[in-house]
A and B are shown apart, each in its own frame.
Chain A
Amino acid sequence: MVPIVQPLGRAFLGFLETTGRICIFTLTAVSHALRPPYYPRLILRQMVEIGYYSLPVVGLTAIFTGMVLALQSYTGFTRFNAESAIPNVVVISIARELGPVLAGLMVAGRIGAAIAAEIGTMRVTEQIDALTTLSTNPFKYLIAPRLIAGLLMLPCLVLVADIIGVFGGYVVSTVKLSFNPQVYIRNTIDFLEPIDVISGLVKAAVFGFIVALMGCYHGYNSRGGAQGVGAATTNAVVSASILILTFNYAITELFFAR
């Protein structure tokens, strides 16, 4: 019995410990983000880095997702003569689920990894210690700008992704599946409820925060040279991805479960 229970118990305690650490880290970071001094220049720079430079990746993901969604629903729906539901399916899936989740995952790979690598390198080369000795709090200077930028920019990215995704579905439907363009657009707009988009944007804000937080947390706590930074990068991406999927379910439940 003991040989099974012991490692299980240890893993569980380890999990609780990590969760606790992340919670404390998050609270510290948020409390520093809310109190001056603020660094608007750094926030702006991170917003450009996270928002603007992620546009191509997120845009490409969105357009192919919208296209494949239209194609797949068509092959399925023709069996029930329900082709007219395609615009509706495309826009709701993208706005509610695929837009935020896919953008979140892509940004986790792009930004989460970059944040972890940058802050991790600063940790192992003592740059974070140097910041402290120059009377600058690393939470305010390094972490808060990234969290704020993640929180604000991912909803913008997702809004763009929603539009591009719907456009992808529209192109496939009108060009390949011979839909009437006007009817397609009318169907898209008529069936879309504000809550579909709003829930997606709320998800995006949460995911953006998670991605930046995981990058910062793992980078800030990295140990031991290049290898440590490598491990921090991997952990940042993996943990952000898992948290995104978990929180996606939780938020969906909050918004739509009756």
Chain B
Amino acid sequence: MNRAVPKIALKGLKKRFGPKIVLDGIDLEVATGESLVVIGGSGTGKSVLLKCIIGIIEPDEGTVLIDGENTTHLAGADRTRLMRKFGMLFQGSALFDSLKVWENVAFGLIQGRGVGRTEAKEIALKKLAAVGLPPEVGDLSPSELSGGMQKRVGLARAIAAEPEIIFFDEPTTGLDPIMGDVINDLIVECRRQLGATTLSITHDLASARKIADRVAMIHGGKIVWSGPVSQIDRSGNPYVDQFIHGRAEGPIKMPVKVR
């Protein structure tokens, strides 16, 4: 029997910026309907990894397969078509500040899928409610919101068109613990209801434990460990151990000088 084609498969993904090697041969698979959480130190290339998968950054080497289709160097209309499968929450929210909040959330519906404005607004307000924002917020502009509220709007925008694959770049960073948990539930819910495949990045282990089926740790441009979330405390991997216990000593060296 053939193994099912993974939703996302990365093979030997490499990316450098000038002399700086960020991704140094990433191999990773995410199965359909699975929730993978990528953990790793600050600046290890997690956001770059997401952008390579989604196609905003072109990798130098390696391939990205979405549903078995090689999408590494897609461009133009093919790329636009592929983007319909994706939803993405950016680390900095990246809301359009020339548009109102509800227009932000409805953007993918109106521009990407040609849904009418009234219908799109209804859906947008529903999605806003799902992330704990009242309908009045819909008529504000993004600059009038707090950072945490912007994050939630970004989340609502990512899931509004109910895509097959959703990327969350630090969905709970900047939120209070209670709202963080609401968002975790929402991500779990998205996956249950829509059957979406999700790939999330987080520093927040409580969040990782809640939303992940599988966890992968990135360090030095490579995946140093990956396994089911239940194994994370018994990984036997020194990198993972150091990370989940937040110790300064260990194989991960922070390039800081203390004098």
Contacts and interface: CB of A to CB of B under 8 A. Distances in A.
B90 A134 contact: no
B96 A130 contact: yes
A125 B161 CA distance: 22
A118 B83 CA distance: 24
A17 interface: no
A135 B115 CA distance: 13
Which of A127, A129, A137 has most B Cβ within 10 Å?
A: A127
A77 B54 CA distance: 69
Interface string B123-158: 000000000000000000000000000000000010
A135 B84 contact: yes
A136 interface: yes
Which of A125, A131, A134, A135 has most B Cβ within 10 Å?
A: A134
Contacts of B107: 134, 136
A135 B96 contact: no
Interface string A115-131: 00010001001110111
B111 A135 contact: yes
A126 B47 CA distance: 12
Nearest to B99: A127
Contacts of B67: none
B229 to A, nearest CB: 27
Contact of B108 (A126, A127, A134, A137): A134
B112 A130 contact: no
Interface string B66-96: 0000000000000111011011101010111
Given A133-B88, A135-B111, A136-B107, A126 B94 contact: yes
Contact of A135 (B56, B83, B94, B98): B83
Contacts, number: 53
Contacts of A137: 80
B100 interface: no
B111 A136 contact: yes
A interface, over-half SS: helix
B78 to A, nearest CB: 12
Given A134-B107, A134-B108, A127 B51 contact: no
Contacts of B86: 133
**For chain B, which range describes its interface: under 10, 10 to 19, 20 to 34, or 35 or more residues?**
20 to 34
Nearest to B167: A133
Contacts of A126: 90, 92, 94
Contact of B112 (A125, A127, A129, A136): A136
A126 B56 CA distance: 10
A247 interface: no
B213 to A, nearest CB: 24
Nearest to A32: B76
A64 interface: no
B77 to A, nearest CB: 9
B83 A132 contact: yes
Nearest to A42: B98
A134 to B, nearest CB: 4
A21 to B, nearest CB: 17
B191 to A, nearest CB: 19
Interface in B91-119: 92, 94-98, 107-108, 111-113
A100 B97 CA distance: 33
Contacts of B97: 127
Contacts of B79: 132
Interface string A65-104: 0000000000000000000000000000000000000000
A141 interface: yes
Contacts of A141: 111
A125 B92 contact: yes
A127 B95 contact: yes
A132 B92 CA distance: 16
A134 B111 contact: yes
A133 B54 contact: yes
A129 B95 CA distance: 11
B92 A135 contact: no
Given A135-B80, A135-B83, A135-B84, A129 B51 contact: yes
Interface in A118-161: 118, 122, 125-127, 129-137, 141
5 contacts: A126-B90, A135-B84, A135-B108, A135-B111, A136-B112
Given A126-B94, A130-B88, 15 more contacts: A126-B92, A127-B95, A127-B96, A129-B51, A129-B94, A132-B56, A132-B79, A133-B54, A133-B56, A134-B107, A134-B112, A134-B157, A135-B81, A136-B107, A137-B80
- Nearest 4 pairs between A and B by C-beta? A135-B112, A126-B94, A130-B94, A134-B108
